[in-house]
């Protein structure tokens, strides 16, 4: 079982729709969760981080965390063509061996079509 798994995609949504990206993780000790966006040929760009159960909203983005189910998601409202990118879920586990180590999922390719 992979440590961090994302819905395989690719995901295609029409402009203005809600895009839902999902991620599960295997280490129950995981404490910190991040969503990055990566455009083709570019480096990952931080969108959001979440530490506590529940929802966290930032503009059109909402991150949701459920530690009991070991599940984290990212919702993008009013999707725009400029949101077309690969979305990466990343996790930091607790403990000394976690220093500076983000464990990434394989990424979900999102395409928003006009």
Partner 1 sequence: KAGVTQTPRYLIKTRGQQVTLSCSPISGHRSVSWYQQTPGQGLQFLFEYFSETQRNKGNFPGRFSGRQFSNSRSEMNVSTLELGDSALYLCASSDSQETQYFGPGTRLLVL
Q: Which residues bind partner 1 (CB under 8 A)?
A: 32, 34, 36, 42-46, 49, 88, 90, 92, 97-107
CB of 29 to partner 1, least distance (A): 14
Nearest of 79, 89, 88 to residue 111 by alpha carbon: 79
Task: Identify which of residues 44 and 62 has a Cβ nearer to partner 1 in the complex.
Answer: 44
Task: Identify which of residues 25 and 36 has a Cβ nearer to partner 1 in the complex.
Answer: 36
Nearest of 56, 48, 60, 74 to residue 16 by alpha carbon: 60
How far apart (Å, rounded) are the C-alpha atoms in residues 104 and 91?
7
CB of 19 to partner 1, least distance (A): 21
């Amino acid at each position: 079982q992979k440590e961090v798994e994302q819905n395989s995609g690719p995901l295609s949504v029409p402009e203005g729709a809600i895009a839902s990206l999902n991620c599960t993780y295997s280490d129950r000790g995981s404490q910190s969760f991040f969503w990055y966006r990566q455009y083709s040929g570019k480096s990952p760009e931080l969108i959001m981080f979440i530490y506590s159960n529940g929802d966290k909203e930032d503009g059109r983005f909402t991150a949701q965390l459920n530690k009991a189910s070991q599940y984290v998601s990212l919702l993008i409202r009013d999707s725009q063509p400029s949101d077309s990118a690969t979305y990466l879920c990343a996790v930091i586990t607790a403990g000394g061996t976690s220093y500076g180590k983000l464990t990434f999922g394989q990424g979900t390719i999102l395409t928003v079509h006009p």
